[in-house]
A = this chain, B = another copy of it.
Amino acid sequence: MMTSEAPKKHSFKQQQLLFRETAILDAVNQLLAQKGFDLMTMDEVAATVGIAKASLYKHFASKEELAAASMTRLLQHALEVTASLPKEDSPLAKLKALVQWTVNTHLQGAMPLLPSTRSTIQTALQNYAPYMECLGRLIEQLGTWIQSAQASGELSSDLPGEVMLYTIFARSCDPVADFLKQGGAFSDQEITELIVRTTFQGMTGQSRPA
């Protein structure tokens, strides 16, 4: 029964499956960034991918699971970014680079945003082990950098690291980026720089104290 070909065939099928699921998650990612979880409909997802709605449910059991998978992929991407930063960079430089990537992704319309508190997904996310694991690793990495930066004086040591961690995470859904983009007065790169600067230096200090 052509057992010798079975593995190859199986692998090919799996690749097709993976490819399809990647396409689905791409669509979900885009729609989550555009409209958020509550306003994203399964019909839209299916239409964007170009498949029937029922087929979605062969890959993902529910809308919540779809969002959770998308968010997990995003966190994995963020972890890759953190891992790819130059070792010689200071902790503060790494944190800035991550914020830069975050805002940029947001501006590209590729940052899925889930209502911070409330909504049904938050519980779904917490029950989704892969998501929680990625989140834990990211938090640990950032926490390490923050502590180092505080120890070296790059970051204020009398501000709780917790606050800094949340502040950095919050850049992913910062409406300031949307407002500035809508205004049209700044390029994406300028917007990113402005937000990075405001996040770390605030609004009182000078940009480059000579």
Given A36-B118, A115-B36, A200-B204, A170 and B175 touching (CB < 8 A)?
yes
> A160's closest neighbor in chain B, by CB?
B194
> A191's closest neighbor in chain B, by CB?
B163
Specify the main secondary structure of chain A where it touches its partner: helix
Closest-CB distance, A54 to chain B (whole angstroms): 25
A207 in the interface, Cβ–Cβ < 8 Å? yes
Which of B36, B163, B203 is A194 in contact with, Cβ under 8 Å?
A: B163
> A178's closest neighbor in chain B, by CB?
B117
- Quick one: which of A171-186 are within 8 Å of B by CB? 173-176, 178-180, 182-183, 185-186
Q: What is the total number of copies of this protein in its complex? A: 2
Are A207's CB and B156's CB within 8 A? yes
Which of B38, B39, B92, B179 is A166 in contact with, Cβ under 8 Å?
A: B179
Q: CA–CA, A36 to B36, complex, Å?
A: 12
Are A156's CB and B206's CB within 8 A? yes
28 contacts between A and B (CB under 8 A): A34-B118, A36-B38, A36-B118, A38-B39, A39-B118, A92-B204, A116-B175, A116-B178, A117-B175, A117-B182, A155-B203, A155-B204, A156-B203, A156-B204, A156-B206, A158-B206, A159-B203, A160-B186, A162-B180, A162-B185, A163-B176, A163-B198, A167-B198, A169-B179, A170-B174, A199-B203, A202-B203, A204-B205
